[in-house]
Structures are given as C-alpha cells and as structure tokens.
Amino acid sequence: MRAMILAAGRGERLRPLTDTIPKPLLYAGKKRLIEYHLENLARANITEVVINVCYKVEEIVQTLSDGKKYGVNITYSVEQPKALDTGGGILNALPLLGNEPFLVMSSDIWTDYSLTKILAKAQEISNFLAHLILVPNPQHHQAGDFGLSENLVTLTEPKFTYANIGIYSPLLFENCNEKIFSLASLLRSAIAQQKISGELYQGQWTDAGTAARLNDLKKYLWNIR
C-alpha cells in the first residue's frame, strides 16, 4: 500500500510560527510533526509515500529529502501557484498513488493509532470507497463530523470527529471535475450512498492545528518520552 500525507496548507491558525516554518516541520517533542508519520509508516512497512506541498516547498523537500533516513521513499506532489484543498490535492496526486487503495493522513495530527491495524482494512475496501478512522470529539470540535452505525459511516447523530486518517479507493475520485475542492464534500456524498466504512478509535489523538494545541501536544510528548 502507498500513503499520502497532506502537507500543502499554509497553516494560518498556527501563525506566527508558520510565517517562517512550514506546518509539517514544526516540532512536537523531539521530532517534527511529519516525522512521527514517516516513522510510523515505516514501522507498518508502508514505504512508498507521497507528500503534497505548496507553501515553503523548498524547506520541506530540503528537510525530508527522499525519505531514506526515515525508512521510506518520498515522492512530492507540488501544487502551484496555490494549494488545491484536501480533495483536490489527493486528486492531483492520484497518478503517483496507483490504482489500489491508499492511506491518507494529515501532517498536523499526532496519534498512537497503529497503522499496521489499518492495513487489514484495505482487504475489505472493495465493498466501499473509503474507510475512515473516527475519534471522540475533542473540546474544540464538539459537534463532530460523521456518525457511525456498526462499521458504516453515517450523517446521523451522535457524531464523532474524523481523525484525518483513512484508506481511500481511487474510485472515490473518478467523477471529480473540479481542481480545487474539499475532501469533506466528497465524503458526505459517498456517505449518503452508504459507500464509506469506518471505526472508532479511543486512544491518543490530537489535532495540533493551533499554537495552543501544539503546545499541549509538546507537553504530553515530553512527559511520556
């Protein structure tokens, strides 16, 4: 299986930190946010990794290089002159991701979810267009995103938060005509057709998308490591 890490965003909510450092390269504990993902992917034997980039491309490429020091092989999907949003970014990278289901995760999250576990779901995705990891709603996102009925993702209450980790079939994107669009809009359409499976993970998960949450993550990681 191949993997894609979404890393093209400007990181507006993390300014002024991201004025000089691209969001994926911000430190949380002893490592950069994106380095945790690369090492976790390598541990799960997912070694072909696509990273989409737009803001401060040179800094990201220079820091991560070809990925060999993390045990993976990185290919970059460059979005210029502006980022294509989450859905458009994946669509743009499809030629690099192949014809089989692939893993997608955001660069600004941290979790102890085992990526080895999600590999088994790739065998089941032939009946669905995606498999999403959901988590209990954090304080900053109490409304949640999607419901869950056994293993089927729904649009009904109660809703949980999408963890920004999922397995996607290329078929989900086959009728996309726009270049810039959100992944959420595409998912809602497929969910309404009962084409998305999912699971609830209740372990450690953090969206480090703001300076305050990044600081909380730093404190947590320093305490456990």
Q: Domain ranges for the chain, please list them.
A: 2-224
CB-neighbour burial class of residue 156 (10 A; exposed 0-12, middle 13-18, buried 19+)? exposed
Where the chain has pLDDT below 50, the residues are none
> What are phi and psi for residue 53, nearest 5 degrees?
-135, 150
pLDDT of residue 110: 95
Residue with tokens 């949640």: 144
User: Amino acid identity of 172?
Assistant: L
Q: What is the pLDDT of residues 142-164, one digit of tens each?
A: 999 999 998 899 999 999 999 99
pLDDT of residue 222: 77
Tokens found for residue 29: 């504990």
Q: In this structure, which CATH number among 1.10.730.10, 3.90.550.10, 3.40.1190.20, 3.40.50.800 belongs to the domain 2-224?
A: 3.90.550.10
Q: What is the pLDDT of residues 72-93, one digit of tens each?
A: 999 999 998 899 999 999 999 9
pLDDT of residue 224: 67
